[in-house]
A and B are shown apart, each in its own frame.
Chain A
Amino acid sequence: MKEQSKYLEGVDKKDLFSSGHRACGGCGQALAARLVADAAGENTIACVATGCLEVFSSPYPDPSWRIPFLHSLFENAAAVASGVDAAYKALKKGPVNIIAQGGDGSTADIGFQSISGMFERGHNVLYVCYDNEAYMNTGVQRSSFTPYGARTTTTPTGNTTRKKNMPMLAADHGISYVATATVDDFRDLQMKIRKALTIEGPKYIHILAPCPLGWGHHGELTVEICRLAKDTGLFPIYEIVDGKVTNVRKIPVKVPVEEYLKPQGRFKHLFKKGVPSKVVDEIQEIANQNIERFNL
């Protein structure tokens, strides 16, 4: 094998989440799961909640995971991971990287109590949330991460509530490391995973993982959409270490939210006859608030 390209220094590619999974073409979550697994390395246990990730990656007899994998119910990935941590402590084994993973539904809605409990009890678990902003596995139903204005099957005229700010909720549990990331910047994402795994105690990483099917964009745009989400200010990239927001990614050139909304089918109703509705202005206001709040 040839030497690693100089452009890939500091990036892990170990194929611990391998080919043959049933995700749609261009799936952001499949990409994120692989980047997370490769960054965490072989000494890792994945506890994955029910959702797309579990469905497409683990059908018997050919799962994609090349690391130990535990499937749990929708609501209790964090609780199962807590149990794994407790078992390792009781058996005096380890150390091992325990990564609980779930979609936005299992993180923000159904599984919130178990996550909250895990944070509160202080288990040595990294919780990774793959945020695709709706219940994609069951057919694009609204979750509490669905952004304002987005159409889902349960909000056909556009979501009327704002997205729950999970990273801040996690940070307010008093845990020592919270970060946000997107799949387009794999260096940053893997760096955050590695950094989190060096910290003792509960950690939370929130990854924006576009869903071409649910968001209504072409699979090839997955990375581009992430980039636009960052550059519009709708998805700020930052870390919260011991309660303090640090390492905020500055936006090089600010982009109006329309550029982010237009390629996506779920925002198509905002541009009927090519005229942006006033919801677009309200979304721009959300982006502006983020820019102001995090000084992007």
Chain B
Amino acid sequence: MSHALIPPAQYSFLGLPTIVISFIITLAGTATFVFLIYKRLVPLFGAAPDNTRLERIPERIVNTLKIWLAQYRQPRYMFAGILHIAIFFGFLILLIRTASLVVIGFWADFGIPGFTSGPYVIIKDYAATIVLIACVIAAVRRGIFTPERYKVPEKYGHDHTKEAVFVLAVISTLMLSESLFEAALIAAEMQKGGHVTYAAPLTLVWIFANLLSETSISALQGTHVISYIVHDICFFFFACFLPFGKHFHVFTSIFNVVFMRLDKGNIKPVQYGISDSQLDELESFGVKKLEDFTWKHMLDFYTCADCGRCSDHCPADAVGRPLSPRFITIKGRDAIFKNYPIFGPKPESALLMEGTYEEDEIWSCTTCGACEQECPLGIEYIDKIVDLRRGMVDEGMVPQTLQKPLKALEKRGNPWGKMEKKRLEWADKEFVKTCEVKSLEKGEEAETLYFVDSISSFDERMQEIARSTSLILDAANVDFGVLGKLERDSGSEVKRFGEEMLFQDLKETNSEAIKESGIKNIVTADPHAYNVLKNDYKDLPPIEHITQVVDRKIREGKLQLNPLEEKDKVYTYHDPCYLGRHNCIYDAPRNAMDAIPGLTRVDMQKCRDRSFCCGGGGLMLFYEPEEETRMGVLRVEMAKKAGADVIVTACPFCLVNMEDAIKVAGMEGSMEAIDFSELIARQLKS
């Protein structure tokens, strides 16, 4: 094929054939890249195992198509999301062109069939143009306006803006050089007459070709070859620069999404491949050193794009606790870089709690899951936090305020150390006159188990939830009973606070009692219990949350609700983390509330899967973090902003936190918090 300009593969600089330069660049670039990837893979192969990531391939393919290819989570931040989608698709489209370009350095006429002319060429030219525009906008946004979430607090080291802008500049150079390479050729074709390659209007190629239309052929030849070399160098530089920082995600994100977590709500086992009954044989528990993380968790560290969405939604970060999920990852990544240097000997990995993470940082997490919900790359936090806590528990590093409830849970099955026989005190003589509560411990039989859990059993205020739930079940003609003194704490937070063996004990005791009781299904009003029984226990009968039961019974016409007496109040529903994000129950409680005639309901701005944690449940009630304000206070302020007078939640811990927050915020009288079960019980038609 004849060329209007000498292609780089045939050109010579001062007697040095460009093909040699291309060869050197390609060889050096490829070798370096392979070497770097190998170096980055070394820690992954030394990490803890996790074979589950290779299972359930169809689900993984769907996930990858949705989250990676379709960039499903990106538009949650609309502007940044669109910029990213532009660059992402531009990259994908240009990948073919870029690969071809590398080969063209040796073989002038190379082209992948179907991609040398026609729609692809037009599409890729527009893609390059859009990517450049997106890069410029992104650079201005990042470098000049710098959104709040990109800021790096002093304790976490230096700002990342320079790196971000630099990479945007490299990408822009790639776009410009590719376009110039092409445009120079088109300009030469135009001057020489004959076949002129089509340049789509307003693309970079089109603009450059027009600008260069008067330029001399020799200058065009120079531009053509130099932009080729610049592109070649830039491309390999970019590839080799990626593994040194947050832009590694360009390479790793697809793997991270392929291998991402498929289940919700549950906590990873102490060690994959070790069954609960084998736990005693383990030498050490949890993550103490970097290498104790699983390979997927290390891949998470590599993959973080530093977009800050996790921390932007983290309630702990919002109230000034010493936790920012973004830096859990970045500090983890830095630890890998430090422990696995590209050159030189590998230093001994230090304990993560000595230098990388702080104890308070790790205890500050409420496991609300907002960070994971937001991450566009499928990075996990809760499992890592729990693994780090397991490591601390194993070393005895547990805050004093948590030791007492943990010990009480061990001895008495509840965090307050109350006697087991008092578990059923909420169903006092007065109450059982109006509502039968079968006690399964005493040999009575029932279809449904109402699992009360500790807080609704022992906390005087929350006992109201237990009574309301019973009234609802009774009204819906559910044949239910409770385990009474046979019930133990569900252990939801025992597990999430890293005390796995204690959790195993609680789980076994509860599982046995549930199986012995002969019930067919389980109902609970506590989302933490709901979640742990559903997702962390094994082989239990099906379980429903009371919101689901109410929704279903209303739809079936088995539960009728009276109209609201006070109609001037506005209600809002606060999604408990363990009902919403961890179990995707968003509509049942809303439907049920809307079924109350005369009830006005608004949603807060942060609702459903973006609900803002109230402060955490279970053992979190006993932990005293450093914080500037309370999560609950921020939450009741959000409710106020939404115009609500009543916050309805469906979790006893949420209620504790909300009621406290209303007092702390001085909103008594103007804001009220009640539980879903209380609201429904109040409206029951007798």
Check if A and B associate.
Answer: no
| Interface residues of B, Cβ cutoff 8 Å to A | none
